[in-house]
Structure 1
Amino acid sequence: MDFGIVLILLLTACISYLIMIYGKMLQKRGQLPPGPIPLPIVGNLLLVNPNNVARSLMKISKKYGPVFTLYYGSKPHVILCGYQTIKEALINQAEQFGGRGPLPVIHCYTKGNDVACSNGEKWKELRRFTLQAMRNFGVGKRSIEEKIQEEIQFLIQELRKTNQLPFEPTQFICQSISNVISSFLFGSRFDYEDKVLQTLANATNENFKLMSTSWGTLYNVYSEVMDYLPGPHRKILTNHKVLRPIFQDIIQAHQEMLDPNNPRDYIDVFLIKMEKEKNNPASYFLMETLIMTMHNLVYGGTDTVTTTLKYCILILMKYPEIAEKVQEEIDQVIGQDRLPAIEDRKNMPYTDAVIHELQRFTDIAPLSLPRLMMQDTQFQGFTIPKDIPVIPVLTSVHYDPKQYKKPEDFNPGNFLDQNGCLKRNDALMIFSAGKRICPGENLAQMETFLFLITLLQNFTFQPLGSREDIDLTPTESGLLNIPQKYQCCAIPR
């Protein structure tokens, strides 16, 4: 057969296939909430800025409303915008919106053998087990508070060694925060020079940056294709894999010293659970699950708080008058002779308001991790079918003009009443909401308060240039909002 005829037949077959797929897309689109008409292959991606997905989705919602459909490639996603809409979905209809949607940048490694990306009974059991382990090892209690306080003192020592010279804070903060989650997972901390700690910190920090770039966004949409293409996204899986041998070595050491009557940390209690269920073929407590859940906890317990603290320092350098008022309250309530404690927070309304506003303004996780519809659901006049991914845009909560006056401005007054007391606002969902709220919320809140207040108790942070030149725009805005890279000087108080 003539080669030209074969080529024509192949092209005709490909075009026919694309037309058929596109026809199915348009047919399914009629059963979903309204949204922009998708194009073949790319869907609606041309409407989305991959460097700031959340803001693009908020812009589209102005035309189509707070509930609309957007096609990531050929795959439809329902987008939720605004505090009332997201609250109604994630809290009032928590069961229906309680699944975990596809997240290839994580699933490419864990394959669903973890607490973050699993669903159904597996997720429920692993989450329940993890929360119980956190409570048993002191999360939210004095015991974990003491470990955090101890770790902060090591950080303070490292910052004093900078001798007021310019430094970039990422490595210092990341290693210190990583040590807190290491105490819970592994039962001990690492020296800052330890290669294991440096590997954990570097791998998680680099991956969150990569997953927040346009490359990370494209990988989540076209993972089947991106797996075979060159680019920075390929480093994501490499960094994931770097952690595996570290975890395996630590687990092996735990197995050799395991005392079932005296568990020391998360690994121990998981190994004990594995032994109890070794004859249960339906058990979710397997070695692979332990490794992948450790992966989740290291990631979730390291870079979100690290990024928050880096952003906090940058913002307070831009607004030194606010930092000074916080330091005044620190001096009045705590002084310089003792360590800050969680108990102090209730006596520091201005500081508490500043922390709430820092968390709102930085909006660290602009998009909640994707949800999955667990059943056909009626929602705000629309039918959302089972198994459709849902993306709650958390930026639209934190910058909702119905909830905050001038949300684009940094203003601690958003969380203060007329008497100067803390005024809470439920439109603060930095850890998401509902059944899939981050299991490490309590730990992260403790860390944020204790680290930030102890740092400000001991230092005043100064920028290298003018505060007017400080740019608070994130360099990347995908999975996380990544602040501009900067140097500063830590001036002892």
Structure 2
Amino acid sequence: MIFQALFECLDPSGWLLLGFAALMLTDVLRNWRPSTFPPGPLALPFLGNVFTGMDYKSVENFTKEYGPVCSLRQGSERIVFISTYRMFKEALINQLDSFVDRPVVPLFDEMFKGLGIGASNGYPWKKHRRFINTHLRYFGEGQQSLENYIKVECGFLCEAFKEEQGKPFNPQYRITNAVGNIISSVEFGHRFEYSDVNFRRFIELDNEAILNSGSPFAQLYNTFPSLFKYLPGPHQKVLANYREIENFLRAEVQKHQEQWNPDLPRDFIDVYLAEIDKLKEDPEAGFNIESLVVTTLDLLEAGTETSSTTLRWALVYMMHYPDIQKKVQTEIDNVIGQSRQPALSDRPDMPYTEAVIYETQRMGNIVPLGFPRMASKEVTLGGYTLPKGTMMVTNLTSVLFDQNEWETPNTFNPQHFLDSEGRIRRRDAFLPFSAGKRACLGEHLARMELFLFFTALLQRFTFAAVPGEMPSLEGVQGFTNSPEQFRIIATPR
């Protein structure tokens, strides 16, 4: 009787309102946050917290209000953020196996498809990680040392800077090309000239994709992919860029397939092709041409973006702190001189230079939120319960600027990494490459590159800002935190 009376008294608009109310009630009940789940701001029905910024500064602000373990809701998915070194250590070091999986991030899944080393999980990820660890080491040390690759490239980069004849120039693409040539030599068996238009195009496409992937539209795409897939915005540029990048990499892979000799592997792609043949009876391992393309991109991006961005930050800080630049050059002159190139064997004798590089990584805050992880099982963290499958984002900014870990967290201060006798001091909260089983595979290579490139540049040049153009210390936020475009004057020493 009640339903019949209700049916008779409601007109179409009433039914629409009733239906909307029912949907809202369903959404609230389905997404109700249990008391055991990390707290966070009030979420809107259907939308969640899509209007809460996902950049690292916004994350820093709401974690101050809700604590070092808190959450946001994007659509119907809850994302947990962890902050401070203490919580970072609990999640990624003390519970080593709890966050080894990657969640599906729709914008990146369009390109990476859950393949390769960065986005895969389980058995394929373990097989790829072991394979990459083995064969990057082989091609770095077995045929020609990674150090020699870098030293040769340092010579090319210094010559390119010298050709500017002390006039203002933007160093971004030369630095990115130089750093990218190291992993390119390992992957493709050759480097790219700085004038190579195809590799320059790859660098431009990748830089643009990384920048746009941090935009609000990209976050909306990740929340409502089926809707925003058809709407214009920066996310479409990311997808278009990755499609063109994929074509560039497929061409490299195809050339290797045509010239492949399994008895004479020349580079990483050749040994991966051999692994495809070797594991053809084990398709679950995920070694195929699609995975090869994605893995090649994984390594190329990881081996280029963070190190080249760190070097650009290093030049910015040297312009802002000429006294620190002079101290580095004095150490270089005392240990190396001007008659030979810097070598890795010099590093133990150059603690101040090393401390400046470390402080650049800390202050530059290159990957402020890392890449998302996912709970591989039910986890207790900070007194809260995270169900299996919960997405977790590490607020690395809060670790690198933790007031409980750093004496002057907001100041560029190389003394953070030096003891009272001027020797390198290990800091537990210095984790620019993250931690745990998903920590950056290229940390060893990156540390080599940063030392050799930075030392070679300051051995050969003194860097100064163009008058009236001192670059900002505020970064440009994309997926990484990079300096604004700047020009520099490199005066030969």
TM-score where L is the length of structure 1:
0.94
Counterpart residue number, 1:389: 391
Q: Secondary structure at the match of 1:37?
A: coil
Shift of 1:260: 1.7
Whole-Å Cα distance in 2 between the matches of residues 368 and 30 of structure 1?
27
Shift of 1:166: 0.8
Counterpart residue number, 1:430: 432
Whole-Å Cα distance in 2 between the matches of residues 138 and 416 of structure 1?
30
Amino acid at match of 2:267: D
Match of 2:130 among 115, 128, 131: 128
Counterpart residue number, 1:32: 37
Whole-Å Cα distance in 1 between the matches of residues 442 and 50 of structure 2?
32
Q: Secondary structure at the match of 1:235?
A: helix
Whole-Å Cα distance in 2 between the matches of residues 94 and 159 of structure 1?
44
Shift of 1:56: 2.1
Q: Secondary structure at the match of 1:436?
A: coil
Counterpart residue number, 2:49: 44
Note closer, same or farther for the CA distance 1:45–1:249 as it changes in structure 2 (3 Å cut).
Answer: closer
Counterpart residue number, 1:446: 448
Shift of 1:232: 1.8
1:54-110 CA distance string (max 9 Å, x none): 222222222322111221233111110000110111011010111112333321212
Shift of 1:11: 5.7
Counterpart residue number, 2:25: 19
Q: Is the 8 A contact 1:140 1:443 kept in 2?
A: no
Note closer, same or farther for the CA distance 1:54–1:41 as it changes in structure 2 (3 Å cut).
Answer: same
Whole-Å Cα distance in 2 between the matches of residues 492 and 24 of structure 1?
65
Counterpart residue number, 2:236: 234
Kindly report the root-mean-square deviation, in angstroms, between the aligned alpha carbons of the 2 structures. 2.0
Amino acid at match of 2:53: N
Q: Secondary structure at the match of 2:294?
A: helix
Note closer, same or farther for the CA distance 1:429–1:225 as it changes in structure 2 (3 Å cut).
Answer: farther
Q: Quick check: 1:297 aligned with 2:302? A: no
Note closer, same or farther for the CA distance 1:235–1:358 as it changes in structure 2 (3 Å cut).
Answer: same
Q: Is the 8 A contact 1:102 1:370 kept in 2?
A: no
Q: Is the 8 A contact 1:140 1:446 kept in 2?
A: no
Shift of 1:261: 2.4
Note closer, same or farther for the CA distance 1:193–1:64 as it changes in structure 2 (3 Å cut).
Answer: same
Counterpart residue number, 2:472: 471
Gaps of 5+ in 2: 1-9
Give runs of aligned pairs for residues 338-487 of structure 1, distance below 5 A. Answer: 338-465=340-467, 469-476=470-477, 478-487=478-487
Shift of 1:238: 0.9
Q: Quick check: 1:56 aligned with 2:58? A: yes
Whole-Å Cα distance in 2 between the matches of residues 251 and 11 of structure 1?
57
Counterpart residue number, 1:273: 275
Whole-Å Cα distance in 2 between the matches of residues 211 and 141 of structure 1?
37
Give runs of aligned pairs for residues 149-298 of structure 1, distance below 5 A. Answer: 149-298=151-300
Note closer, same or farther for the CA distance 1:222–1:311 as it changes in structure 2 (3 Å cut).
Answer: farther
Note closer, same or farther for the CA distance 1:5–1:195 as it changes in structure 2 (3 Å cut).
Answer: farther
Q: Is the 8 A contact 1:139 1:442 kept in 2?
A: no
Whole-Å Cα distance in 2 between the matches of residues 407 and 24 of structure 1?
42
Q: Is the 8 A contact 1:204 1:302 kept in 2?
A: no
Whole-Å Cα distance in 2 between the matches of residues 5 and 108 of structure 1?
45
Whole-Å Cα distance in 1 between the matches of residues 26 and 141 of structure 2?
53
Shift of 1:5: 6.0
Whole-Å Cα distance in 2 between the matches of residues 454 and 346 of structure 1?
16
Whole-Å Cα distance in 2 between the matches of residues 70 and 204 of structure 1?
29
Whole-Å Cα distance in 2 between the matches of residues 36 and 232 of structure 1?
27
Q: Is the 8 A contact 1:140 1:442 kept in 2?
A: no
Q: Is the 8 A contact 2:50 2:73 kept in 1?
A: yes
Whole-Å Cα distance in 1 between the matches of residues 146 and 88 of structure 2?
32
Larger mean CA deviation between 376-385 and 177-186 belongs to: 376-385
Note closer, same or farther for the CA distance 1:153–1:6 as it changes in structure 2 (3 Å cut).
Answer: farther
Amino acid at match of 2:38: P
Amino acid at match of 2:230: Y
Note closer, same or farther for the CA distance 1:104–1:482 as it changes in structure 2 (3 Å cut).
Answer: farther
Match of 1:138 among 126, 140, 147: 140
Q: Secondary structure at the match of 2:352?
A: helix
1:283-333 CA distance string (max 9 Å, x none): 411111101111111111111111111111011100111011001101111
Note closer, same or farther for the CA distance 1:422–1:142 as it changes in structure 2 (3 Å cut).
Answer: farther
1:241-261 CA distance string (max 9 Å, x none): 112222222222212222222
Q: Quick check: 1:306 aligned with 2:308? A: yes
Gaps of 5+ in 1: none
Q: Secondary structure at the match of 1:462?
A: strand
Aligned length: 484
TM-score where L is the length of structure 2:
0.94
Shift of 1:385: 0.8
